[in-house]
């Protein structure tokens, strides 16, 4: 059941950084795509529970006052049953109060020659400030937070751990509802695979992509995509993996100083945001997707399946076969990882380690490289929060 006191309230989605390249495109997609969702929630017989009636609201927040006001005024003329409001500067409380979904594309993007890690100093401050505002104005027992800002590998730890500090909630509670978005990697993997195998039917293959969101921490599992293993050569797969891992660079170089991927990211973020909207409106009982989550929570298991995942990762790190309990200690592996999960209104229902256990030898080597790098990225975020006090 959705939270029973909220059944008749509109669903509020806050976009923080809404005047930027991703923020504006994402808000446009939400204004259009959430229209039918609002209509379905108001009218359809929902399978999961009594649906909520009324409109959906998008609260657009940015530090750039004129740009966010202009974008919101512009979007408000589109004829879908989704309300849009603009918020700037100190008005962040109005944007966040009552929001059940907060999507964060706030922060600086890369220019040619930069790594995502080069964005850390500026964007970690922005994300920590936003974490404080979310803790002050949102109810973390009912708000989901989706982070886009780079470097995702380090900034999700910043967001999670600052939220724990500022809200006084347990790491376990916060881990249920705060996720990093690595969806663009899966969108790219699917697109590039489809290009490489043009004789396939028009529907795009779904490729699980796990790990993190930067270079070799991005691990596409092409062997698990429908028929992919039989269809492409080992050399072609290596090229595909490299292209997914460095797809962001293609866009940064093409934009030549004008930023990084905005339109494809907005598409990827809008898809997952709409899935959360369906969930929160009672149109589906749960959602399945790959999200960057805190998989190792001090003193408590994140969700069913988390122990399997940690043991599988420990096995990969130790060079074992990855089956549960074979090698390494689960406690010693990374604390954050992008992995398929099932989410319900109360948080994570289960973690699915199976794709990692079914990965082939080539992919297990790529996972070992990923794990070797990801730990340092995570530590960087954790140290930043620890030093904030």
Q: How far is the CB of 222 from ligand NAD (least distance, A)?
A: 19
Whether omega before 144 lies within 30 degrees of 0, making that bond cis, reads: no
> Using CA atoms in the order 166, 155, 217, 314, what is the torsion angle rounded to 10 degrees?
-10
Q: How far is the CB of 119 from ligand LMR (least distance, A)?
A: 8
194 counts as catalytic: no
Q: Is 252 in the site for ligand LMR (CB under 6 A)?
A: yes
Q: How far is the CB of 210 from ligand NAD (least distance, A)?
A: 14
Q: How far is the CB of 202 from ligand NAD (least distance, A)?
A: 25
When CB distances are held under 5 to 8 angstroms depending on the partner's kind, the choice from ligand LMR, ligand NAD, none that residue 62 binds is ligand NAD
When CB distances are held under 5 to 8 angstroms depending on the partner's kind, the choice from ligand LMR, ligand NAD, none that residue 251 binds is ligand LMR
Question: Alpha-carbon distance 310 to 210, whole Å?
Answer: 14
Q: Is 231 in the site for ligand NAD (CB under 6 A)?
A: no
- Candidates 27, 85, 150, 214: give the one binding ligand NAD (CB under 6 A): 150
**19 vs 353, beta carbon nearer ligand NAD:** 19
**27 vs 80, beta carbon nearer ligand NAD:** 27
Contacts of 361 (CB under 8 A, 6+ apart): none
| Residues in region 183-212 near ligand LMR by CB under 6 A | 184
Q: How far is the CB of 62 from ligand NAD (least distance, A)?
A: 4
Q: Is 247 in the site for ligand NAD (CB under 6 A)?
A: no
Structure tokens at 262: 């905005």
Contacts of 228 (CB under 8 A, 6+ apart): 193, 197, 205, 207, 222, 237
Q: Is 154 in the site for ligand NAD (CB under 6 A)?
A: no
- CA 132 to chain centroid, in Å, comes to 20
Question: Alpha-carbon distance 68 to 362, whole Å?
Answer: 46
User: Considering only 15-23, 217-225, 277-285, 381-389, which stretch makes contact with ligand NAD by CB under 6 A?
Assistant: 15-23
Residue 355 · residue 222 · CB < 8 Å: no
Phi, psi of 198 (to 5 degrees): -65, -15
Question: Alpha-carbon distance 311 to 59, whole Å?
Answer: 41
Alpha helices in the chain (DSSP H): 21-43, 65-75, 92-96, 120-137, 152-167, 171-175, 183-196, 228-231, 234-245, 247-255, 263-280, 306-317, 354-358, 361-388
Q: Is 251 in the site for ligand LMR (CB under 6 A)?
A: yes
| Residues in region 40-99 near ligand NAD by CB under 6 A | 61-64
Q: Is 110 in the site for ligand LMR (CB under 6 A)?
A: yes
When CB distances are held under 5 to 8 angstroms depending on the partner's kind, the choice from ligand LMR, ligand NAD, none that residue 252 binds is ligand LMR
Positions in the binding site for ligand NAD (CB under 6 A)? 16-17, 19-23, 61-64, 105-110, 119, 123, 126, 129, 148-150, 152, 181, 184, 213, 259-262, 265
Residues annotated catalytic, as ranges:
213
Interface positions with ligand LMR (CB under 6 A)? 109-110, 116, 150, 184, 248, 251-252, 260-261
């Amino acid at each position: 059941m959705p939270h029973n006191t909220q059944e008749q309230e509109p669903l509020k989605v806050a976009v923080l950084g809404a005047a930027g390249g991703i923020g504006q495109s994402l808000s446009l997609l939400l204004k259009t795509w959430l229209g039918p969702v609002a209509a379905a929630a108001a009218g359809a017989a929902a399978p999961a529970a009594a649906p909520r009636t009324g409109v959906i609201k998008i609260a657009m927040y940015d530090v750039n006052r004129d740009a966010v006001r202009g974008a919101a005024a512009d979007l408000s003329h589109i004829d879908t049953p989704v309300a849009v409001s603009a918020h700037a500067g100190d008005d962040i409380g109005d944007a966040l109060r009552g929001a059940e979904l907060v999507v964060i594309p706030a922060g600086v993007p890369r220019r040619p020659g930069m790594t995502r890690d080069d964005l850390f100093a500026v964007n970690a401050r922005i994300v920590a400030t936003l974490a404080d505002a979310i803790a002050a104005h949102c109810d973390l027992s009912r708000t989901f937070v989706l982070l886009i800002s780079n470097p995702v590998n380090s900034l999700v730890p910043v967001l999670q751990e600052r939220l724990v500090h500022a809200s006084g909630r347990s790491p376990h509670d916060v881990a249920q509802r705060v996720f990093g978005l690595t969806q663009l990697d899966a969108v790219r993997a699917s697109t590039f695979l489809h290009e490489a195998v043009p004789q396939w039917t028009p529907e795009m293959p779904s490729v699980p992509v796990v790990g993190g969101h930067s270079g070799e921490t991005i691990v596409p599992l092409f062997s698990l995509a429908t028929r992919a293993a039989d269809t492409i050569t080992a050399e072609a797969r290596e090229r595909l993996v490299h292209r997914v891992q460095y797809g962001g660079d293609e866009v940064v170089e093409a934009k030549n100083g004008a930023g990084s991927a905005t339109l494809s990211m907005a598409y990827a973020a809008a898809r997952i945001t709409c899935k959360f909207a369906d969930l929160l409106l009672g149109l589906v009982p749960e959602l399945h997707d790959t999200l960057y989550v805190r998989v190792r929570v001090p003193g408590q298991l994140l969700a069913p399946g988390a122990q399997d995942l940690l043991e599988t990762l420990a096995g990969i790190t130790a060079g074992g076969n990855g089956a549960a309990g074979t090698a390494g200690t689960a406690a010693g592996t990374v604390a954050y990882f992008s992995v398929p999960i099932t989410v319900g209104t109360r948080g994570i229902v289960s973690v699915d380690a199976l794709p990692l256990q079914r990965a082939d030898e080539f992919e297990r080597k790529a996972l070992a490289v990923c794990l070797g790098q990801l730990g340092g990225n995570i530590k960087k975020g954790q140290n930043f929060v620890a030093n904030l006090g």
